[in-house]
C-alpha cells in the first residue's frame, strides 16, 4: 500500500513542485492549503495566502490528480502567531512569525490533520533537508530555510519530507516546467509576511492594540549617553541595525542599536555600538541531543547571515536558556529574532534571542 | 476502495435520467427563443408554458404565479429585496427573519438594511424551531415581509409555516418561505398554506443547477431585480432557460409523485443511521433532534472531541462525501451560523457533520457509514487523548 503524505500547499512553486515530486515518487498525496487569516478584500496581486493562491493550489492538485482541501487554521494561527507577533513588537522586539508558524501551525496543527487522515508523512516546500533523522540546510545556499525550522518538535523530523530541499530554486522551476505546472512555474516569490501583504506591519499592530498603542506613539531618539536627539513616531517601526528613519547630521552613519519600551526610546549609535561579542537566547529547542557548555558551534542570528563561530558558555539545567561567546563580533543581534546553532549543514537547535552581549550594548543596558 | 458513497444530497443531487431526456430536444432541434413569433419561437413558448403549468400544479399554484429563476438564491433575493423595495414607500420598513436562514436570505436582508430596512431576527428554540412569541412580537404593521425557511438546510428542522404565515398576514406583512429543502419532502400547497412568496430550486430535486422558481401570489407587490425585456411579465427579464425549465418541471412532478414513499424510505434510513451512531457513540449530539418535525433527509451530528474538518477529510478519503456548516469562498469550513444561533457551544458546532440522504442512498450505504463513521470518530478521539 502506498504511503500517504499530507502536503502543505501555498499555491507557490516550491510546495507545488514538492507535491508533484511526491506523486512522481509514488506517494499517496493529499494536498492541503491552510487558511490562516482572512483578507477582508482580496489582494489578487499578492503571491501568498490570497484566494488566488488557494485556487492555484487547487488547480495544481487537480492536474496532479490528487485531492485538495482547504484547512481553516485561522483561530489557532491568530493565537499562536499573530498575537505573538503583535506582542513582541509591543515590547520592542522584532519577531519572525514564520518561525512560530512552522513550529505551531505547519509542524504541529497540520501534523494533527495528517494523523486524522492516516498520513504517515507530512511535506512542505521548504528548502531544507532531513537526513538520518536530523535537520540539514537546503543544498541551495541562496534559498536555505533551515533557519526558520529550529522550533519544530524533534519527533516530527521522522515524518517530514522536504522534496525541494535537495535542489536549487532554478531546478525547482525547471521541474515545474517538466511536470507541466505552467500555472505556477514562474510565479514570483513571496517576500512579505503572509498576513502583512503590503509590508506595513504597523497596520496589524494598530488593528490589535488600537491607535494609542505605546509602540506606535511618538518617543525620543536618544544616544547611548542619554542625549535626546530627535523624535520618532513609534518604536515598533524600528529594528536593531536599521538606518531608515534615523536622524542624520552625525559624523558617522547612525543605526538603531537598542529599543527601550519603558520610555519608548529608540537608542541610536554608530556601527561600533551595534557589535555584539555574545548572545543570550531562551526557549531553546533541540533537534539533536542538547550540547554541553564548552562546545564549539556555528551560529546564525538572522536569515541569510554568514554563520559565525561561537562557544557555548552557559546552558541552564533544562537546556532552555543559552549564552554563547562569539569568536568575532557580530552586528545587530536583535531581540526576538532567532538564534540557530549549526555544525556545518546540521541544525542542532535554536531559540529566541533575548539580548546581545558586547561593549557597545553594555552601555545601553545600564 | 469500495464504491464511493454520496451523502450530501442537501448540497445537490444528480440530474435524473428522465429529466435529462426531457431536456435534450431543447439542446437540439427545439432551440427557439420563446419570444420569437415564428414556429421555432412558438415551439419553445409552448414548452415553457407547459413547464410553468406543471410546476404550478406541483405547488398548488396558478400558472401566472410561477416565475422561473436561476435558482434558490435568485428566488430568495427577489422575495426579500423585491418585497422591501416594493413596499418601503408605503411605510413598511421592517424585515423579520430568523438567524438560521440560508445565506441567500441573510445577505439579502443585510442588503435591504443597507438601503434603510430595519432587520429583525427572531429567537430560536434550542430544538431549532422559531420561538413563536418572539416572531409574533417582531411582526408589526411596519413589517414589509417576514421570511422563514421551511426546512433548514443544515439540521433539517421544519418550521410551522402555516401558523407563521397566518400570523404575518394578520398584521399585513408579506410572508415568504425558502422552500428549497422542503420541496419534495413536505407537501407544499399554495391553496392551503397562505404564504405569499416561496422559493424552490431545481438541483436539489434532480434537475440541473441553474434553474429554480419563485412563487409570487397574485396581487403581491414585488419589484423586479433585473431590468430588460418583458419576459415573465417583467418580473424576471431575460431570455428564458427553456431546457432547464422543462427539466425542472419533470423533476418537480417526479418529486411530488414519489414524495410520500421516498420520505418514508429516507426517514427509515436516516433513523437507522442515527441509532447506529448513537449506539456506538452515546455522547454524540444530533442537532434538531428535539424539533416537533424534521425533514427525513438530514442528519447533523457532532461528536465532542472531534473537529468537522478532519472528519470530513477522513470520510472523503474513505469515499464518503458529507459536509459541515457552510464553506467560505476559499472552500474552508467556517463554524455554522445555524448551530450557533440555536445555542450549540462553539466546540460542538465546529465538530458538526451533516449527512444528507437522497436518491443515491441505499441500505448498503447506511450500513457502511454506520461502521466507518464511528471508527473514524474513535480514532480521532484516541489521538486527541494521546496528544
Return the percentage of chain B with pLDDT > 70, whole number: 97
Average pLDDT, rounded, for chain A: 92
Q: What is the mean pLDDT of residues B121-148?
A: 96
Residue B300 burial (C-beta neighbours within 10 Å; 0-12, 13-18, 19+): buried
Closest CA to B106 of B114, B98, B115, B118: B98
What would the mean pLDDT of B25-29 be, rounded to a whole number?
A: 96
The closest CB to that of A117, out of B313, B328, B332, belongs to B313
pLDDT tens-digit profile of B371-383? 999 999 998 887 7
Nearest CA to CA, how far is B352 from chain A (Å)? 15
Write out the E strands in A162-249: 219-223, 228-232
- B387 with A112: Cβ contact below 8 A: yes
> Cβ separation of A113 and B310 shorter than 8 Å?
yes
Whether the predicted pLDDT of A112 surpasses 50: yes
A132-136, A335-339, B234-238, B313-317: the lowest-pLDDT one? B234-238
Q: Which residues of A touch B317 (CB under 8 A)?
A: 30, 67, 117-118
pLDDT at A319: 86
Question: Is the pLDDT assigned to residue A145 strictly greater than 60?
Answer: yes
Residue A361's pLDDT band, with cuts at 50, 70 and 90, is very low
Catalytic residue, chosen from B67, B322, B328, B365, is B328
> What is residue B327's predicted lDDT score, i.e. its pLDDT?
65
The dihedral sign for the CA sequence A166, A170, A173, A177: negative
Lowest mean pLDDT among A149-163, A180-194, B77-91, B226-240: A180-194
Report which DSSP code applies to A225.
T
In this prediction the pTM is: 0.91
Instruction: Please report how the helices B308-317 and B363-386 are oriented relative to each other, as an axis angle in degrees rounded to 10.
Output: 130
- Which of A30, A70, A117 minimises the CB distance to B332? A70
Q: Is residue B163 predicted with pLDDT exceeding 60?
A: yes
Q: Which residues have C-beta within 8 Å of that of residue B82, sequence separation ≥ 6?
A: B222, B223, B224, B225
ipTM rounded to 2 decimals: 0.88
Q: Which residues contact B329 (CB under 8 A, 6 or more apart)?
A: A51
Mean of per-residue pLDDT scores for chain B: 95
* CB contact B346 to A (< 8 Å): no
Residue from A86, A44, A342 nearest A215 by CA: A86
Chain A residues with CB under 8 Å of B331 CB are 54, 58, 69-70
Nearest alpha-carbon partner for A64 in A106, A33, A110, A18: A18
Bridge partner list, A281: A322, A353
User: Which of B314, B332, B387 is opposite residue A117, by nearest beta carbon?
Assistant: B314
What value does the mean pLDDT take over residues A220-234?
95
User: Residue written as cell 434550542?
Assistant: B126
Residues of B in contact with A67 (CB under 8 A): 316-317
pLDDT at A363: 42
Work out the pLDDT band at B325, boundaries 50, 70, 90.
low
- Judged against a pLDDT cut of 90, whether residue A49 lies above it is answered with no
Interface residues of A toward B, Cβ cutoff 8 Å, are 30, 33, 35, 38, 51, 54, 58, 67, 69-72, 74, 112-113, 115-118
Going by the DSSP 8-state scheme, the letter that residue B307 receives in this structure is -
The count of CB pairs under 8 A between chains A and B is 48
More confident position, B224 or B384: B224
Structure confidence at residue A96 as a pLDDT band (50, 70, 90): very high
Tell me the longest C-alpha to C-alpha distance in chain A.
71
φ, ψ for residue B116, nearest 5 deg: 115, 0
Distance from CA of B310 to the nearest CA of A (A): 6
Q: B-chain residues within 8 Å CB-CB of A113?
A: 309-310, 313
When mean pLDDT is compared across A5-14, A190-199, A271-280, the lowest value belongs to A190-199
The answer to whether the CB atoms of B314 and A30 lie below 8 A apart is no
* Share above pLDDT 70 across residues of chain A, in percent, rounded to a whole number: 95
pLDDT at A50 over 90: no
Q: What is the pLDDT of residues B94-130, one digit of tens each?
A: 999 999 999 999 999 999 999 999 999 999 999 999 9
Which member of B316, B330, B387 has the closest CB to residue A51?
A: B330
The pLDDT of B184-210, averaged and rounded, is: 98
- What's residue A317's pLDDT? 87
B313: contact with A, CB 8 A cutoff: yes
In sign, the C-alpha dihedral spanning A267, A271, A272, A278 is: positive
In this predicted structure, what is the pLDDT of residue B179? 98
Whether the pLDDT of residue A48 is over 70: the answer is no
Q: Do A67 and B317 touch (CB under 8 A)?
A: yes
Local confidence band at A261 (pLDDT 50, 70, 90 cut-offs) = very high
User: Is residue B349's pLDDT more than 60?
Assistant: yes
Residue A197: pLDDT over 90: no
Query: What's the average model confidence in pLDDT over B253-272?
Result: 98
* Amino acid B328: pLDDT: 63
pLDDT in tens, A172-187: 999 999 999 988 898 8
Contact indicator for B269, B253 with CB cutoff of 8 Å:
no
Mean pLDDT confidence for A127-142: 96
* Chain A contact for B332 (CB, 8 A cutoff): yes
From the list B310, B328, B331, the residue facing A116 with the nearest CB is B310
Q: CB distance from B353 to chain A under 8 Å? A: no
Task: Give catalytic status of residue B328 as yes or no.
Answer: yes
Runs of H (alpha helix) within A145-245: 169-178, 182-185, 202-209
> Among this protein's residues, is A98 annotated catalytic?
no
Amino acid at each position: 500500500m502506498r504511503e500517504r503524505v499530507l502536503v502543505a500547499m501555498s499555491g507557490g512553486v516550491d510546495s507545488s513542485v514538492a507535491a508533484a515530486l511526491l506523486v512522481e515518487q509514488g506517494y499517496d498525496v493529499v494536498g492541503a492549503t491552510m487558511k490562516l487569516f482572512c483578507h477582508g478584500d482580496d489582494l489578487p496581486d499578492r503571491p501568498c495566502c490570497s484566494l488566488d493562491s488557494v485556487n492555484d493550489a487547487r488547480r495544481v492538485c487537480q492536474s496532479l490528480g490528487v485531492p485538495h482541501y482547504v484547512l481553516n487554521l485561522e483561530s489557532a494561527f491568530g493565537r499562536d502567531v499573530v498575537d505573538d507577533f503583535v506582542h513582541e513588537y509591543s515590547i520592542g522586539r522584532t519577531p519572525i512569525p514564520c518561525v512560530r508558524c512552522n513550529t505551531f501551525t505547519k509542524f504541529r496543527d497540520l501534523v494533527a490533520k495528517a494523523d486524522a487522515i492516516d498520513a504517515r508523512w507530512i511535506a512542505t516546500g521548504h528548502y531544507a533537508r532531513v537526513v538520518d533523522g536530523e535537520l540539514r540546510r537546503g543544498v541551495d545556499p541562496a534559498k536555505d530555510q533551515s533557519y526558520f525550522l529550529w522550533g519544530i518538535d524533534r519527533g516530527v523530523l521522522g515524518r517530514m519530507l522536504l522534496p525541494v530541499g535537495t535542489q536549487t530554486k532554478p531546478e525547482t522551476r525547471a521541474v515545474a516546467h517538466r511536470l507541466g505546472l505552467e500555472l505556477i512555474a514562474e510565479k514570483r516569490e513571496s517576500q512579505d509576511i503572509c498576513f502583512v501583504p503590503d509590508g506595513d506591519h504597523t497596520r496589524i499592530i494598530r488593528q490589535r492594540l488600537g491607535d494609542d498603542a505605546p509602540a506606535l506613539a511618538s518617543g525620543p531618539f536618544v544616544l547611548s549617553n542619554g542625549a535626546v536627539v530627535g523624535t520618532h513616531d513609534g518604536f515598533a517601526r524600528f529594528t536593531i541595525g536599521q538606518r531608515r528613519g534615523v536622524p542624520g547630521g552625525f559624523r558617522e552613519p547612525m543605526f538603531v542599536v537598542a529599543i527601550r519600551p519603558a520610555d519608548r526610546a529608540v537608542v541610536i549609535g554608530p556601527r561600533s555600538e551595534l557589535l555584539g561579542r555574545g548572545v543570550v537566547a531562551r526557549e531553546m529547542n533541540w533537534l539533536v541531543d542538547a550540547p554541553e557548555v564548552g562546545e564549539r558551534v556555528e551560529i546564525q542570528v538572522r536569515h541569510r547571515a554568514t554563520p559565525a563561530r561561537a562557544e557555548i558558555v552557559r546552558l541552564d539545567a533544562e537546556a532552555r536558556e543559552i549564552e554563547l561567546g562569539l569568536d568575532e563580533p557580530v552586528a545587530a543581534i536583535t531581540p526576538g529574532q532567532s538564534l540557530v546553532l549549526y555544525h556545518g549543514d546540521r541544525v542542532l537547535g535554536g531559540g529566541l534571542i533575548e539580548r546581545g552581549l558586547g561593549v557597545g550594548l553594555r552601555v545601553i543596558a545600564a | 476502495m469500495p464504491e464511493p458513497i454520496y451523502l450530501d444530497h442537501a448540497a445537490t443531487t444528480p440530474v435524473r435520467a428522465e429529466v435529462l431526456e426531457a431536456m435534450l430536444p431543447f439542446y437540439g432541434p427545439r432551440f427557439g427563443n420563446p419570444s420569437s413569433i415564428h414556429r421555432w419561437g412558438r415551439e419553445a413558448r409552448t414548452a415553457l408554458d407547459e413547464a410553468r403549468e406543471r410546476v404550478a400544479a406541483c405547488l398548488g399554484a396558478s400558472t401566472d404565479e410561477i416565475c422561473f429563476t436561476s435558482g434558490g438564491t435568485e428566488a430568495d433575493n427577489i422575495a426579500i429585496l423585491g418585497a422591501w423595495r416594493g413596499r418601503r414607500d408605503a411605510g413598511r420598513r421592517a424585515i423579520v427573519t430568523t438567524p438560521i436562514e440560508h445565506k441567500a436570505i441573510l445577505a439579502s436582508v443585510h442588503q435591504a438594511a443597507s438601503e434603510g430596512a430595519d432587520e429583525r431576527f427572531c429567537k430560536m428554540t434550542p430544538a431549532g424551531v422559531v420561538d413563536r412569541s418572539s416572531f409574533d412580537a417582531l411582526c408589526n404593521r411596519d413589517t414589509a415581509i417576514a421570511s422563514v425557511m421551511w426546512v433548514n438546510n443544515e439540521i433539517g428542522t421544519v418550521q410551522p409555516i402555516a401558523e407563521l404565515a397566518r400570523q404575518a398576514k394578520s398584521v399585513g406583512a408579506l410572508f415568504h418561505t425558502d422552500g428549497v429543502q422542503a420541496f419534495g419532502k413536505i407537501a407544499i400547497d399554495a391553496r392551503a398554506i397562505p404564504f405569499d412568496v416561496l422559493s424552490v430550486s431545481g438541483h436539489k430535486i434532480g434537475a440541473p443547477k441553474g434553474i429554480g422558481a419563485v412563487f409570487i401570489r397574485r396581487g403581491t407587490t414585488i419589484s423586479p431585480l433585473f431590468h430588460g425585456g418583458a419576459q415573465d411579465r417583467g418580473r424576471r427579464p431575460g431570455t428564458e432557460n427553456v431546457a432547464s425549465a422543462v427539466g425542472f418541471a419533470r423533476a418537480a412532478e417526479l418529486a411530488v409523485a414519489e414524495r410520500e414513499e421516498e420520505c418514508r424510505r429516507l426517514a427509515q434510513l436516516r433513523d437507522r443511521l442515527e441509532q447506529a451512531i448513537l449506539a456506538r457513540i452515546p455522547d454524540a449530539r444530533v442537532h434538531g433532534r428535539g424539533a416537533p418535525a424534521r425533514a427525513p433527509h438530514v442528519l447533523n451530528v457532532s461528536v465532542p472531541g472531534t473537529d468537522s474538518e478532519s472528519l470530513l477529510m477522513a470520510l472523503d478519503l474513505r469515499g464518503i462525501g458529507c459536509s459541515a456548516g457552510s464553506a467560505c469562498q476559499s472552500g474552508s469550513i467556517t463554524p455554522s451560523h445555524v448551530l450557533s444561533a440555536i445555542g450549540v457551544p462553539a466546540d460542538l458546532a465546529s465538530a458538526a457533520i451533516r449527512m444528507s440522504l437522497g436518491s443515491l442512498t441505499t441500505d448498503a450505504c447506511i450500513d457502511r457509514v454506520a461502521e466507518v463513521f464511528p471508527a473514524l470518530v474513535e480514532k480521532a478521539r484516541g489521538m486527541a487523548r494521546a496528544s
